[in-house]
Amino acid sequence: MKLLTLILLLPILLAVPSCSTSGGNAGNANVQPAPKPASATTVHQTIVVAAGKTFDGGGRAYKAGKKLGDGSQAEGQDPVFLLEPGATLKNVVIAKPAADGVHVKAAAGKTTRVLNCIWTDVGEDALTVMAGNNQSKVLVDSCRFYHADDKVVQVNATAWTTLQNCEAADFGRFARSNGAHGSTDPLAYRIDIEGGQFKDGDTILKMSSPNAQGTVQGIRTTNIKTPIAADNGAKITVSP
Ligand code: ADA
Ligand code: CA
Ligand code: CA
């Protein structure tokens, strides 16, 4: 390169931000602002999306009625949506109060999907994988989650769960395999986080049972305290 070209290019080269590879960080997060829906349909009884069916909210907002829960940290609240194996939920905004968000069931040979959904203020948690085994899959793609006092995605079953190109801001743990039984839990949880942007949170992925496996790849983060937490022999692989 000629000296003159280098001198002309120098300001551009210097302006490119540097990337850190710690915690799988492929650059700074640029999380979109949360939408502010003008109105939301109150759901008094959990909306069940039957096996293999699709519920397309068309961008409309839904919130929990009192019977489902208040969206606090109290356990045992009901979800706004329940997906049966192979169902798809898309283009839905879950507004406050969000109770226990969305429950997902998977079954062998089926993929259950949550696509392009937004939680404006996560309730007890946002999305729970309730059932499934290592032959079943759950895919959460291009979803956004804001303001979770504690957990966002809670995985209580061994369905292979992929969280792809999601965004979260202001949260405790973004994804967590069930920690209730700790070192004695034999379940082989599997969570893969691929791409996405995360800011102002404690941890991206926490797993704490011996057979739990996770991967985190190609995410962008800003202000995450402890990106990964793997206890009791759980294995989490991180790559930039
Ligand atoms: C707590 C509890 C888990 C599970 C989870 C949930 O973390 O320890 O067993 O119930 O809440 O799904 O909300
Ligand atoms: Ca909980
Ligand atoms: Ca919950």
Closest Cα to atom 11, ligand 1: which residue?
A: 75
My answer on whether omega of the bond before 97 falls inside 30° of 0, hence cis, is: yes
Q: For residue 100, how far is its CA from the centre of ligand 3 (angstroms)?
A: 5
**Averaged over 97-118, what is the pLDDT?**
97
* Measured distance CA(109)–CA(61) in Å, rounded: 31
Residue ranges with CB less than 5 Å from ion ligand 3? 100, 124-125
> Would you say the CB of residue 15 lies under 6 angstroms from ligand 1?
no
> Model-level pTM?
0.90
**CA–CA distance, 118 with 14 (Å, rounded to integer):** 36
> 57 C-alpha vs ligand 1 centroid, how far in Å?
27
Q: Are the C-beta atoms of 108 and 133 separated by less than 8 Å?
A: yes
Helices (H), the chain: 3-15
Question: Is the beta carbon of 154 within 6 A of some atom in ligand 1?
Answer: yes
Position 20 scores a pLDDT of 37
pLDDT at 114 over 70: yes
User: How much distance in Å is there from the Cα of 11 to the middle of ligand 3?
Assistant: 50
9's enclosing H/E stretch is helix 3-15
The 10s digit of each residue's pLDDT in 174-233 is 999 999 988 999 999 999 999 999 999 999 999 999 999 999 999 999 999 999 999 999
Ligand 1 site, residue 128, Cβ cutoff 6 A: yes
Q: CA 126, 77, 211: angle at the middle one, nearest 5?
A: 60
Chain centroid, CA 163 distance in Å: 6
Q: Which residues contact 26 (CB under 8 A, 6 or more apart)?
A: 19, 218, 219, 220, 240
